[in-house]
Structure 1
Amino acid sequence: MPERILGGRYKVQGKIGIGGMATVYRGTDEVLGRTVAIKTMLPQYAADPSFAARFKQEAQAAAALQSPYIVGIFDWGKDGDTYYIVMEYLRGTDLKSGIRTHGALDSRKVAQIGSQICQALSVAHKHDIIHRDIKPQNIMVQPDGTIKVMDFGIARAKNSHLTADNSVLGTAHYVSPEQTQGKPLGPTSDIYSLGIVMYEASCGKVPFDGDDAISVALKQVNEQPVPPSQVNPNVDPQLETIIMKCLMKDPQARFQTADELRRALTDYLAGRVVSVSNNATTMIPAGPTSRMNRTGGTQQMNRVSNPSGATRVAAKVDSDDEDDEPSGGGTGKKVGIVVGVIAAIVLIGAIVYFALGNQNATQSVPNYISMTQDSAVAAIEQTDFFQVGSVTQEYSDTAEEGTVIDQDPQSGTLQERGTKINLTVSKGKKPAQEVTVPPLDNMTPDQAQEALSKLGLVAKAGDSVFSDSVDSGLVVSQSPAAGTTAKEGDTVTYSLSKGKDSKSVPDVRGYSESSATSTLQNAGFAVSVGNSVYSDSVDEGCVISYTPNGEQPAGTTISLTISKGPKPAPQQPTTPTTPSQGGNSSGNSDNQGGDTGNEGGNSDNQGGDTGNEGEGGSDSNNP
């Protein structure tokens, strides 16, 4: 199964654990690049069409349950003959392992765990989903102390009552009396199971135990649990009252909703007095021959048949029995009680006999998972019925080295004498392999995540930086660098480009050309003079306008337009001079007065004209 791709996207990796219904693997969602847990159904269940249909229905229903105390269901499907559920990958340990390791827990811790489980059950019950398999193995305790309830996806696809092959062995310790009898179940059935969980967490042991599922289930129906404080004197009396109410045989006598139980636990944790209407004194006494309850009332033992063919003993307590009895009928009633008790004992013995009568031919395989290899081997040899088979080793991310993580045949199955039990033992966590860090340059975040995930590396986005060469949103740098060596599980941090560093162009209108140039250069821009034009409003040599403006990448060239000052007025054209006597003198005289600039020239011309005035007469220049 490892390295197989399910549904075209879920890569199956190391095995995490195995139960009576499924095997759980660590995996990777290769589309989203995240670690997931993948639960695959065992072949003997996947081959059953009715199971497959209910599995699909319940997986879809479980996916709708949203709660911080419920393991999230991401997907489900079928690949070939394999049915699988993809769910949230959790770090931590299951409550069963915690109890085995640490023993009984503090009363406040038990109440805190119970309160969180109640919140998970409340969400499920409001969706009309009964878990049916609340047990410590299905409760994950995370490193921060938060719990998550598992297996909502297949809970209702499991057998809810005893079957011929004892398939509920391992869960019979936690099932409600009505569940063992095949009766309709409601929220109070889960509350009973939660009561067993809190009892075990408080005492370090379950209230009812036996050699097989049948004997344990009969005790669930017929026997009264020993009060937790008699097993562990440190159990708080108020918490004990809450637990005992959960364990009432009559579903109507228990807490009726998970919210009601949670309020009682919350009151206890807050130091408020817990007022529990607990009819614990009316429960069936542990010894079938006892006829008096704690209040002195008599008990009438009745034989009640149930659909599964078993027989249970129901208790009716009435402290005023004799007042209701017709006069003179007391002796007859007492005889009836005795007969009823004897009949019940005989019938229970018959059930146990027929259930276990063939024990010499076949026996139910015990559960060796979570035991050390030496302990499991010793336990198999001590049965004098089974034999130790092969012992193989596999890496495990969750089980300590030397711990049994799988067995074949599975626990709860009936096997013949001499059957070999094959064990799979944890080698501890798989050593991280060395890989070469790939180059991430110019990749999108999704591409970088995918490239690293394929090598078992963890991607982490660092700070974004400006880059003149890499487009915005793409990887511009990474650490460790491409080509270096890293180990699986190491983190590679990458930085994304924010594009070129952009700045606001200073407004230099009205600045002199030199001032504008230095201002723009100091701001990180280049400068060029585009052209110079006349301006009536901007002094000569100053900036009229610049382009581009606004936010621009650093280094952008800013073009300046410089003023040449006001535009000069156009010149008037001059009148040509005609050399003629008299008129020219007169004209020159006028020109002299009207045109200062030509005044000297006109004077010279006037003199010349005067010299010409006597031409033809007496001319001193002509001999």
Structure 2
Amino acid sequence: MIGKVFSGRYKIIKKIGRGGMADIYSARDTVLDRTVAVKIMHPQFAQEKDFVARFKKEAQAAANLNHPNIVNIYDWGQEDHIYFIVMEYLEGWNLKQLIEAQAPLPVDEAIEIANQVCSALEFAHQNNVIHRDIKSQNIIITPRGQAKVADFGIARAGAAGMTQTGSVLGTAEYVSPEQAQGIEIGEATDIYSLGVVLYETLTGTLPFKGENSLAVAMKQVKEKPIPPTVLNDKIPDSLEAIILKALEKDPVNRYRSAEKMGQDLQRVLKGMPVKIASPSVEKGETEVIPPQKAISTKQKSLSKKGKEIQWLPWAALVLVFILLATTGYFFSRGLFSTSSMVVVPNLEGKTLLEATELLEKKGLEIEKEEIFSSKVEKGLVISQDPEAGVKIKEGSLVKVIVSKGEELIIVPDVIGMSRDSAIAELVRAGFEIGEITEADDDEVPAGAIISQTPEADTEAQKGTIIDLVVSKGDSLVKVPDVIGRDAEEATTLLKQLGLTVEKIEAYSDTVSEGNVISQTPKAGAEVKTDSTVTITVSKGKEFVTVPNLINMTEAGAISTLNNLGLEADIEYSEPISEGDVGYVLDQNPMANTKIEKGSFVRILVGTARKRKEI
């Protein structure tokens, strides 16, 4: 795919990410000369009409959402059975990466991010688009702190004629209860998911976790989250109230709009109280919560009896589902057979050979699957299915998950990248950032990576700490002022700063011999070390030898003196008529005398007759 050109203009540069439906590449738009991101659908989906329709709908829905907090869609198309979308290229991190690296985030920062997402969602909802998959991985934070919502691949335009129920679940840890149940969704679905994101940002953990997606989805429907202040006591009570309101199970009890939620977030940011209406208080009652007021017992816990009544029909339905699923599972394993039943041994922590021998003794078959694990030593059993202690029919299959040990991944080459791009690349690849130091470098631009440890293209464990050295650019020094200093003193000073000195000598009427007359570059200029500073050193005043001017014409004498840098002081021994030629009869100083350049030489001028007399 690298080097391929789409639509005659988008040249693929490198792969930068992978999603459930598509890979993401950076590319060069050769027409507008800019870097873009290109999302390319996985080939296995290109033949499925539903996935193709979803891919097209993403482009059509998102292309119309021009908002500063939404990733821009520039173009989309199909080429050689490959479907692609051209998007805004962003440097930075997704919020999930920031949470994993820094959680819990400061309250102000978390509110600012959530408020920007509210702005994006309000704009999308006004344009009849529901995102349906708001999660921390889909929120990009640029180096300037701007939040941008990405991946409207699960979005559905309300007027597009596509179903709103049952078709897409989203991500289990962030789905709303109505999504988990496959019933009609609306704007409140995105608000619930944003509540999960805000909870995660401020606590570093998700409100609901489970062994699998179904278990998590059931918790979204049935369980109340642990109040976030229990996990982080720095969260203001008013902010906790906003989160819990966004996480209400019934969509009716959540914020009516993303705009309303954003307004309450702004109130918390400004230290103002928020007004929270909740089913936990009497109908029509609104509780005003100051920034640091503890949430009332009535607000914090719903009536247990009312809760049980509210979810009794759904709980019964879930119980039936579990019973049916369990029954089918046990029938498939032959658990209701009365003949040749054996107890499954405990295989966890055993080697594959030990597990195989134990199963063979029981007359059971083994199926192996290997996965990477940072917790279980390579070659040992991580888990088994069925679990130990369960009775199954002799000859049945027991599946074991065996550890491949810690996953080793290739360290990306980030040398030459900008500091922020390098950090994003390493975090995206699964590494952690260690010490970042700065160093002078004449070849690597300031802000770019000079070196990395471990080195690029070596194998390292996921989560390995990578140390970076960032270039400060050329080592610069400020040129000192050496004018008027003794030349030797000036030379010593410049060389101590790592500069090379070049001397030029010149006469000077004002600067003493041996002192600096001028310098290049000027004082205060910043130059690289090893740069040359040229100093002009005074030779003192210049002296010239007075020539013999006697018997020269007046004009000749003046010209001779001027050529030597001397001036003529003329005295006439007699009046000289027009047309007569004056000659030098005498001079002072005498010939061969040394005098300063610019001095006057006095000459006595007379006629030819007078010259003969002399």
Contact 2:280 2:303 in 1 (8 A): no
The equivalent residue for 1:385 is 401
1:277/1:364 Cα in 2 relative to 1: closer, same or farther (>3 Å)? farther
The equivalent residue for 1:54 is 54
Gaps of at least 5 residues in structure 2 are: 283-298, 334-364, 384-399, 415-421, 432-458, 470-614
Asked whether 1:124 is paired with 2:124, we answer yes
Cα distance in 2 for partners of 1:75, 1:15 equals 19
Asked whether 1:142 is paired with 2:142, we answer yes
Cα distance in 2 for partners of 1:361, 1:248 equals 45
Asked whether 1:350 is paired with 2:323, we answer yes
Q: CA deviation at 1:129?
A: 0.6
Cα distance in 2 for partners of 1:377, 1:82 equals 41
The one-letter amino acid paired with 2:101 is: T
Cα distance in 1 for partners of 2:461, 2:43 equals 19
Query: CA offsets, 1:493-530, max 9 Å, x none?
Result: xxxxxxxxxxxxxxxxxxxxxxxxxxxxxxxxxxxxxx
More strand by share: 2
Contact 1:401 1:425 in 2 (8 A): no
1:281/1:98 Cα in 2 relative to 1: closer, same or farther (>3 Å)? farther
The one-letter amino acid paired with 1:385 is: I
The equivalent residue for 2:90 is 90
Query: CA offsets, 1:184-204, max 9 Å, x none?
Result: 111000000000000001110
1:153/1:402 Cα in 2 relative to 1: closer, same or farther (>3 Å)? closer
The one-letter amino acid paired with 2:279 is: N
Report the secondary structure of 1:298's partner residue.
Answer: helix
**TM-score scaled by structure 1?**
0.51
The one-letter amino acid paired with 2:128 is: D
Q: CA deviation at 1:4?
A: 1.4
Asked whether 1:249 is paired with 2:249, we answer yes
Cα distance in 1 for partners of 2:140, 2:426 equals 17
Contact 1:244 1:280 in 2 (8 A): no
Cα distance in 2 for partners of 1:402, 1:151 equals 17
Asked whether 1:399 is paired with 2:415, we answer no
Q: CA deviation at 1:395?
A: 5.1
Cα distance in 2 for partners of 1:16, 1:45 equals 20
Q: CA deviation at 1:402?
A: 9.8
Asked whether 1:231 is paired with 2:231, we answer yes
1:365/1:159 Cα in 2 relative to 1: closer, same or farther (>3 Å)? farther
The one-letter amino acid paired with 2:192 is: Y
The equivalent residue for 1:408 is none
Report the secondary structure of 1:276's partner residue.
Answer: strand
Cα distance in 2 for partners of 1:8, 1:275 equals 55
Cα distance in 1 for partners of 2:193, 2:369 equals 23
Q: CA deviation at 1:95?
A: 0.4
Cα distance in 2 for partners of 1:199, 1:380 equals 36
Counterparts in 2 of 1:360-375, with a 5 A limit?
none
1:277/1:142 Cα in 2 relative to 1: closer, same or farther (>3 Å)? same
Cα distance in 2 for partners of 1:245, 1:18 equals 33
Asked whether 1:7 is paired with 2:23, we answer no
Asked whether 1:214 is paired with 2:240, we answer no
Q: CA deviation at 1:399?
A: 2.6
**TM-score scaled by structure 2?**
0.52
Q: CA deviation at 1:54?
A: 3.2
Report the secondary structure of 1:275's partner residue.
Answer: strand
Contact 1:46 1:81 in 2 (8 A): yes
The equivalent residue for 1:299 is 306
Q: CA deviation at 1:81?
A: 2.2
Report the secondary structure of 1:385's partner residue.
Answer: strand
The equivalent residue for 1:133 is 133
Cα distance in 1 for partners of 2:258, 2:149 equals 14
Cα distance in 2 for partners of 1:99, 1:355 equals 41
Q: Percent identity?
A: 37
Q: CA deviation at 1:83?
A: 1.1
Report the secondary structure of 1:91's partner residue.
Answer: coil
Cα distance in 1 for partners of 2:101, 2:280 equals 31
Contact 1:110 1:201 in 2 (8 A): yes
Counterparts in 2 of 1:427-506, with a 5 A limit?
none
Cα distance in 2 for partners of 1:364, 1:168 equals 28
The equivalent residue for 1:37 is 37
Counterparts in 2 of 1:180-195, with a 5 A limit?
180-195=180-195
1:31/1:234 Cα in 2 relative to 1: closer, same or farther (>3 Å)? same
Instruction: Please provide the CA RMSD for this pair.
Output: 4.3
1:183/1:92 Cα in 2 relative to 1: closer, same or farther (>3 Å)? same
Cα distance in 2 for partners of 1:263, 1:364 equals 51
Q: CA deviation at 1:268?
A: 1.2
1:182/1:345 Cα in 2 relative to 1: closer, same or farther (>3 Å)? closer
Cα distance in 2 for partners of 1:80, 1:42 equals 13
1:280/1:230 Cα in 2 relative to 1: closer, same or farther (>3 Å)? farther
Counterparts in 2 of 1:541-620, with a 5 A limit?
none
The equivalent residue for 1:470 is none
Query: CA offsets, 1:172-223, max 9 Å, x none?
Result: 0000010111111110000000000000011100000011110000000011
Contact 2:61 2:155 in 1 (8 A): no
1:278/1:378 Cα in 2 relative to 1: closer, same or farther (>3 Å)? farther
Contact 2:242 2:264 in 1 (8 A): yes
Q: CA deviation at 1:403?
A: 3.6
Query: CA offsets, 1:449-508, max 9 Å, x none?
Result: xxxxxxxxxxxxxxxxxxxxxxxxxxxxxxxxxxxxxxxxxxxxxxxxxxxxxxxxxxxx
Report the secondary structure of 1:207's partner residue.
Answer: coil
Q: CA deviation at 1:347?
A: 2.9
Q: CA deviation at 1:247?
A: 0.3
Q: CA deviation at 1:355?
A: 9.7
1:342/1:377 Cα in 2 relative to 1: closer, same or farther (>3 Å)? same
Asked whether 1:265 is paired with 2:265, we answer yes
Q: CA deviation at 1:146?
A: 1.0
The equivalent residue for 2:346 is none
Cα distance in 2 for partners of 1:259, 1:363 equals 52
Query: CA offsets, 1:519-560, max 9 Å, x none?
Result: xxxxxxxxxxxxxxxxxxxxxxxxxxxxxxxxxxxxxxxxxx
Report the secondary structure of 1:225's partner residue.
Answer: coil
1:297/1:136 Cα in 2 relative to 1: closer, same or farther (>3 Å)? closer
Cα distance in 2 for partners of 1:151, 1:379 equals 39
Query: CA offsets, 1:68-127, max 9 Å, x none?
Result: 100110011112122111111101100000000012112222111111000000111111
Q: CA deviation at 1:147?
A: 0.5
Q: CA deviation at 1:344?
A: 5.9
Q: CA deviation at 1:401?
A: 7.7
Contact 1:241 1:278 in 2 (8 A): no
Contact 2:138 2:149 in 1 (8 A): yes
1:212/1:362 Cα in 2 relative to 1: closer, same or farther (>3 Å)? farther
Gaps of at least 5 residues in structure 1 are: 283-291, 303-313, 316-336, 406-421, 432-623
Cα distance in 1 for partners of 2:264, 2:328 equals 40
Q: CA deviation at 1:270?
A: 1.5
1:426/1:203 Cα in 2 relative to 1: closer, same or farther (>3 Å)? closer
The equivalent residue for 1:515 is none
Contact 2:280 2:301 in 1 (8 A): no
Contact 1:63 1:153 in 2 (8 A): no
Q: CA deviation at 1:26?
A: 1.0
Cα distance in 2 for partners of 1:363, 1:176 equals 36
1:124/1:226 Cα in 2 relative to 1: closer, same or farther (>3 Å)? same
**Aligned pair count?**
364
Q: CA deviation at 1:60?
A: 1.5
Contact 2:208 2:220 in 1 (8 A): yes
Contact 2:132 2:154 in 1 (8 A): no
Cα distance in 1 for partners of 2:23, 2:219 equals 30
Query: CA offsets, 1:424-450, max 9 Å, x none?
Result: 989999x9xxxxxxxxxxxxxxxxxxx
